[in-house]
Structure 1
Amino acid sequence: MQSRTPAPRATGRPRSAAAHSAILAATREALVELGWSKLTLGDVARRAGVAKTTLYRRWAGKNELVVDAVAELFDELELPDRGSLAADIEGVVLQFAAILDRPEARNGLMAVVAESTRDDALRERVRASIVDRQKRLVLTGRTRAQRRGELPPESGPEETARKIDLIFDMVAGAVVHRTLVSAEPADDEWAREFTRVLLLGLTGAED
């Protein structure tokens, strides 16, 4: 009888998608109620109804767990096809602002950003799990606009990467500052004006 080599055990996501979602949801709930400093993996496990060892098998510690919990919220962002580049930008800006209006997103993002200022490894995880993942929206939007003839193609991959970074920084930075720092509404009127400035520049004039 031939011996069978055991199949490698899956890593990362728990076998139960429901358990995975419950853990991340419990993390966001704890962030809102307790804040970063008082949140513990034991409390998250209790809220999620799982063993504490389940968390330690998937996350090295609190930092990684909290970043993944926050990242899941921003994965809800989609770039709507509203027929024009301007309308597409307005749509994603309003979605982003709506997510940041949720206490679990607002508290979670502010917590990981604050902690990452003194933790280089955490900063890299925020960049990889949140920032880099959401740059897909900019790439999708530019490609769509280029197919419509609204934007010219770039000269090469390096220029594309630079522009993707710049556009993401401008959009994300403006919305985060507006909603979390200034605590002002990013409503339809603000989204339209921001998009106009983004596309035309400060001295640009509409046709």
Structure 2
Amino acid sequence: MSRRSTTRTGRPRNPTADAAILQATRAALVDLGWSKLTLGDVALRAGVAKTTLYRRWAGKNELVVDAVAVLFDELELPDRGNLEADVEGVVRQFAALLDRPETKTALMAVVAEATRDEPLRERIRTSIVERQKRLVLQGRARAEARGELPRPATPEAAARNADLIFDVVAGAVVHRTLVSGQAVDAAWVHGLTALLLGGLGAAAGQ
């Protein structure tokens, strides 16, 4: 008679519970701020046991990064017909996302903590930055297919190009919204896009 395996693999994660926990984390950040937020408060808001959080996240830093990361996963790059429109569209989306209280509070908090926590900085890179470079790669591939941009000479050049584009766009929007506190209006979006696509000479004529 064959024997059944009695090895336990653990209870699978519940996507509904995960979503409730991440939503509760963002709400707690808005209400309490980083310093007062605790896993106990998040568990209470999400309606789960605190042990449920500890099975999924090692601590507050990791939980907050994941709570922010799912917001950035909402960003999309629909085909608007040309590269200029594609860039302007994603810049407006990104700025609107950063203007949301839960995004603003959570992102500023984790970035501040990451200045003295290298593992947290690495989690931000992998969970947010690297995941969102998909938009650059998607937009670049679409522009190449339209004949709007040349193909990079090597995979290494393509990777460097994607890093630079992401840094320029993300850095500019984050600085404008969270540091300067100024509006990302149509004129600013158009100027940033002109600078990115045409270089300093083109932007100077805007």
Q: Deviations over 1:65-88 (max 9, x none)?
A: 000000010000001210000100
Aligned residue for 1:60, secondary structure, equals coil
Equivalence for 2:18: 20
User: 1:4: which partner in 2?
Assistant: 4
1:10 deviates by 5.8
CA distance in 2: counterparts of 1:116 and 1:10, whole angstroms: 32
User: Which TM-score applies when normalising by structure 2?
Assistant: 0.95
* Aligned counterpart, 1:45: 43
The SS at the match of 1:203 is helix
Determine the C-alpha separation between the residues in 1 that align with 2:26 and 2:132. Answer: 19
Question: Does the C-alpha gap of structure 1 residues 89 and 9 become closer, same or farther in structure 2, counting only changes over 3 Å?
Answer: same
User: What is the CA distance between 1:19 and its match in structure 2?
Assistant: 1.1
Q: What TM-score results when the alignment is normalised by the length of structure 1?
A: 0.95
Q: Tell me the secondary structure at the aligned position of residue 113 of structure 1.
A: helix
Length, aligned pairs only: 203
CA distance in 1, matches of 2:162, 2:22: 29
Q: What letter corresponds to residue 3 of structure 1 in structure 2?
A: R
Letter matched to residue 53 of structure 2: L
2:132 alignment partner AA:
Q
1:70-109 Cα deviation digits (max 9, x unpaired): 0010000001210000100000000000000100000000
Match for residue 152 of structure 1? Answer: 150
Q: Secondary structure at the match of 1:106?
A: helix
Amino acid at match of 1:72: V
After TM superposition, what 4+ stretches of structure 1 lie above 3 angstroms from structure 2? none
- Per the TM alignment, residue 190 of structure 1 is displaced from its structure 2 partner at its CA by 1.3
CA distance in 2, matches of 1:193, 1:10: 51
SS for the counterpart of 1:135 is helix
Deviation at 1:204, TM superposition (A): 3.0
Q: What secondary structure is seen at the aligned counterpart in 1 of 2:77?
A: coil
Which ranges in structure 1 are unaligned for 5 or more consecutive residues?
none
Q: Quote the Cα distance in structure 1 between the aligned partners of 2:92 and 2:4.
A: 54
Do 2:194 and 2:202's aligned partners in 1 also have CA atoms closer than 8 Å? no
1:43-192 alignment runs, 5 A limit:
43-192=41-190
SS where residue 186 of structure 1 aligns?
Answer: coil
Query: Residue type matched to 2:3 in 1?
Result: S
Give the direction of change, closer, same or farther, for the CA distance of 1:10–1:188 in structure 2 (3 Å limit).
farther
- Gap regions ≥5 residues in structure 2: none
Identity %: 68
